[in-house]
Amino acid sequence: MPVVECTLNGGEAMKTEKGSMAWMSPNMRMETSAGGGIGKAFGRMLSGDSIFQNIYTAEGGQGMICFGSSFTGSIRAIQITPQKAVICQKSSFLASELGVDLSIYFKKKLGSGLFGGEGFIMQRMSGSGMLFIEIDGTAVEYDLAPGQAMIVDTGHLVMMEETCGMDVVQVPGIKNIMFGGEGVFNTRVVGPGKIILQTMTVSGLAASLIPYLPSGNK
């Protein structure tokens, strides 16, 4: 269960989702905000995040704040610039500098939205500043060359740079679909750009635990 520790100079601030602050120095001031107005707040809700965000500002000198992951896994730091936006799975946002903007990202192709494993809506992180995202399990990174593709099992794509393209492909063969245990569709990501994959999904872990949970029958 990792945490990210941020040291802020006086006047510097970080924003995060509700419940992500783990511990901080006493001079960190908290303020809850809709973060850009009702439109952006509603957009965050559609993309799996909270309507409101908490902003923490260091007052009277240097401050420290730690943000904890909500699930067993990893945290990755990504530098966002005006020339480098990224697309992330829903609920991956942990914390960022104030210059990072969160918005809805609609997958361009209907097939990607219906069958890609993370729903029709994802998150677009743009602007300027440091971004921290949550990853279930271990993070694995690849730099895809132009035209290079990666086939990813449902739900394992955490992040891709905006230069990448994404669509879905059907698992070939009726026998593979019926007995292979990998579902009907996979996600196909095409470079150029960096992608981050995760070794575990929350839904996959939950499914693996079901046989060991009490059924409630006596």
Segment 139-192, tens digit of pLDDT: 999 999 999 999 998 789 999 999 999 887 766 545 444 444 455 577 889 999
Q: Write down the pLDDT at residue 38.
A: 56
Q: How confident is the model at residue 218 (pLDDT cuts 50, 70, 90)?
A: very low
Q: Which residue has the higher pLDDT, 83 or 119?
A: 83
3-state secondary structure of 46: helix
Q: Can you give the pTM of this predicted structure?
A: 0.80
Which range has the worst mean pLDDT, 2-11, 143-152, 203-212?
Answer: 203-212
- Residue 130 burial by Cβ neighbours in a 10 Å radius (0-12, 13-18, 19+): middle
Q: Write down the pLDDT at residue 35.
A: 62
**Pair of tokens at residue 185:** 């569709």
Sign for the CA dihedral angle at 69, 72, 77, 81 comes to: negative
Q: Write down the pLDDT at residue 1.
A: 82
Superfamily for domain range 3-211: Mitochondrial biogenesis AIM24 (3.60.160.10)
The span from the CA of 125 to the CA of 37, in Å, is 17
The span from the CA of 167 to the CA of 169, in Å, is 7
Segment 8-65, tens digit of pLDDT: 999 999 999 878 899 999 999 999 887 665 555 555 555 555 678 899 999 999 999 9
* Beta strand extents in 85-153 (DSSP E only): 86-88, 93-97, 100-106, 121-127, 129-136, 139-144, 149-152
Q: Is it true that the peptide bond before 211 is cis, omega within 30 degrees of 0?
A: no
Q: Is the pLDDT of residue 112 over 70?
A: no
The span from the CA of 58 to the CA of 156, in Å, is 36
Q: Write down the pLDDT at residue 36.
A: 60
